[in-house]
Structure 1
Amino acid sequence: MEIKLWKVHGSGNTFYLYETSDEQEMDWVQLTLWLCDEENEGGADGLLLICPSSQADAKMRVINADGSEASMCGNGLRCVARYICEKLEVEEAVIETMKASLKVRKESPLFEELPTYSVEISPVSFELSTLPMVYKGKSQVIHEVIEEFSPTIHFTAVSVPNPHLIGIVEEHYIKHQSHQFLLAHYLNNDNEYCTDGVNVSYVYPMAEDAIYVRTYERGVGFTNACGTAMTASALVANLNGVVASTEVTVYNPGGFVKCIVEKNDEIYNLLLIGNATVTAIYTAEVIDGTFGWKSCERTAEQKNYDKCIQFVKEQTAQFLISEKA
């Protein structure tokens, strides 16, 4: 049996994308573990599975590199948005995810000729029970110092719907990642606060309309970017007066995106806008539950994205990591 996969990324958050008409077609966890092995074509952060939907144009499932399944992925959704919009020859579509059906749309490029898509990020909740997270019997943690985590960092817990712990930090916490690594590693193993793990992002304000975000992603580790984390970080920065604009540029190790943060009748409307890049199209062979490559056709799109990376490096040179965890 032969299968065709796209290798894609949003802000350097890399995935394989595969469309199936049968969600029981094969063992997706085993496929994902094989695809994400760094020794295999450089690996990836996960598998984006596109399935039929009875309520939208398609359904997206996200299998993380460790085999766990995420409820949403903003960077991945942009890549799925491109695949579906190009397949259906439309500029707007609706994609079913685990918690909601979300609108997606083709947008004007943010940088040169990069294919760019916007995706809705929803639902939003600050209730700790939705992460889940337990802390001193509280129902919410919003811009609050958690002494057990740090005596100085203000944290906000939010689900979008993936669970996120967002810390507003000083520059040295971005330049040196050891504190974030130790906290995130603890919260994603046996602990009394986040029994299912949590994405941990450190956010540094760069300007009234720009932030820098680095994320330790549940099921992945430090990643070039996490779409829901960037959107949640823009929301938290706006909510707590860290930025003044409702349109926030979010820089990250893998590139940059734009996040729109709006509130209507106590409901947050969040939009994530960024690249959806195809780096290669692979053909793989599946025989008796084992996998192997047959062919690979690389695109020219990454060369254009490399220019974007150089631009981001120039904008964020002060955040180059000087200490590894």
Structure 2
Amino acid sequence: MKRSFVKMQGCGNDYIYFDCLEEELPQPEKWSRKLSDRHFGIGGDGIVLICPSETADAKMRMFNADGSEGKMCGNAIRCVGKYLYESGAVPKKDMWIETLSGIKRLILTTSGSQVLSVTVDMGSPILGASEIPTLFNLDTVLDHPLKVNGQEYRVTCVSMGNPHCVVFLNEVESLPIVTIGPQFENHSMFPERINTEFIHVIRRNELRMRVWERGSGETWACGTGACAAVVAAVLNGYCDEGADVTVHLNGGDLIIRDVGETVWMTGAAVKVFEGTVEL
């Protein structure tokens, strides 16, 4: 069976997109593992299925490179908006996309028939320790000590549909993330594993971020992670609520605005190439 796909990326967070509006993709967990391999597959952080929805303009399902299904991906949903608009499937600059973490609103900035950037209403951050979920015996995990591999870190935990652990450090460029990332991801305090954002505060309302995503490893960007990082930075007094915060990721910049009741994320969405694959 041959299926068409589109490779797209947002700040280097790259996925393989399948149009499932008319035809489902069987065994997506299996194909995410096989196709995401950067040596023996197409290569990517996972696959995304663009599906019909009874409650929104379309539905996004995303699978990590290890085959696990994620609830939400901020970079991927921008690319879903771009695909739907440019393909003519949803010719609207203000659209709604169903995800496992709720229905998200997208506002598209366009030039002619091309989508230049997408702003996403990422919803309200979840701060309840048990809701994220974590096993901390606390109401919220704010600048709390956590011992990882014998070293103590100060962590703030936030869910933006996906669980995140935010760690503020003096610098992140030399961080051995391949070693420390899995230790956070699989820590006993996180029953569903965790995404971890390592943050250096450059100046007020400007952050440098590296991210270890559960199921994918270090990625070039994570939209929900950037939102969680800004929420954590506001809570810890590094950034201002209601201000545009620039988050520098390995793959580019995102603009995040935490207004309290919701978090807005703005960034680019880029088509890399399209093709067909034998399944």
Question: What TM-score do you get using the length of structure 2 for normalisation?
Answer: 0.91
Mapped partners of 1:114, 1:158: distance in 2:
30
The reply on whether 1:106 has 2:108 as its aligned counterpart is yes
Query: Who is 1:271 aligned against?
Result: 264
Cα displacement (A) at 1:240? 1.6
Q: Contact 1:106–1:118 at 8 Å: present in 2 too?
A: yes
**Compared CA separation, residues 23 and 101, structure 1 to 2 (3 A):** farther
**Compared CA separation, residues 94 and 149, structure 1 to 2 (3 A):** farther
Query: Who is 1:165 aligned against?
Result: 165
Mapped partners of 1:142, 1:120: distance in 2:
24
Runs of at least 5 residues in structure 1 that lack an aligned partner in the other structure = 286-290, 292-325
Query: Who is 2:253 aligned against?
Result: 256
Mapped partners of 1:41, 1:30: distance in 2:
12
Cα displacement (A) at 1:194? 0.9
Query: Who is 1:143 aligned against?
Result: 143
Mapped partners of 1:170, 1:52: distance in 2:
45
Aligned-partner SS, 1:177 = coil
Query: Deviations along 1:28-82, whole A, 9 cap, x unmatched?
Result: 1122122101114661001111111000000000100000000000000110011
Question: Percent identity of the aligned residues?
Answer: 28
- Counterparts in 2 of 1:120-131, with a 5 A limit? 120-131=121-132
Cα displacement (A) at 1:9? 0.3
Q: Which of 172, 175, 196 pairs up with 2:192? A: 196
Normalized per residue, which structure has more strand? 2
Mapped partners of 2:154, 2:185: distance in 1:
19
Mapped partners of 1:254, 1:114: distance in 2:
19
Mapped partners of 2:161, 2:248: distance in 1:
22
Aligned-partner SS, 2:259 = strand
Normalized per residue, which structure has more helix? 1
Aligned-partner SS, 1:175 = coil
Aligned-partner SS, 1:29 = helix
Cα displacement (A) at 1:139? 2.6
Query: Deviations along 1:251-277, whole A, 9 cap, x unmatched?
Result: 0111111011102xxxx3101110100
Query: Deviations along 1:187-229, whole A, 9 cap, x unmatched?
Result: 333x421121100111111122210010000000011011100
Mapped partners of 2:131, 2:65: distance in 1:
23
Q: Contact 2:44–2:65 at 8 Å: present in 1 too?
A: yes
Q: CA RMSD in A?
A: 2.1
**Compared CA separation, residues 149 and 121, structure 1 to 2 (3 A):** farther
Query: Who is 2:60 aligned against?
Result: 60
Query: Deviations along 1:136-173, whole A, 9 cap, x unmatched?
Result: x22321122324578664310111110000011112xx
Aligned-partner SS, 1:231 = helix
Query: Who is 2:224 aligned against?
Result: 228
Mapped partners of 1:83, 1:24: distance in 2:
17
Question: What TM-score do you get using the length of structure 1 for normalisation?
Answer: 0.79
Partner amino acid for 1:232? A
Mapped partners of 1:149, 1:244: distance in 2:
33
Q: Contact 1:85–1:93 at 8 Å: present in 2 too?
A: no
Q: Contact 1:169–1:204 at 8 Å: present in 2 too?
A: yes
Higher Cα Rg: structure 1 or 2? Answer: 1
Q: Contact 1:131–1:198 at 8 Å: present in 2 too?
A: no
Q: Contact 2:125–2:231 at 8 Å: present in 1 too?
A: no
Cα displacement (A) at 1:93? 0.3
Q: Contact 1:145–1:151 at 8 Å: present in 2 too?
A: no
Runs of at least 5 residues in structure 2 that lack an aligned partner in the other structure = none
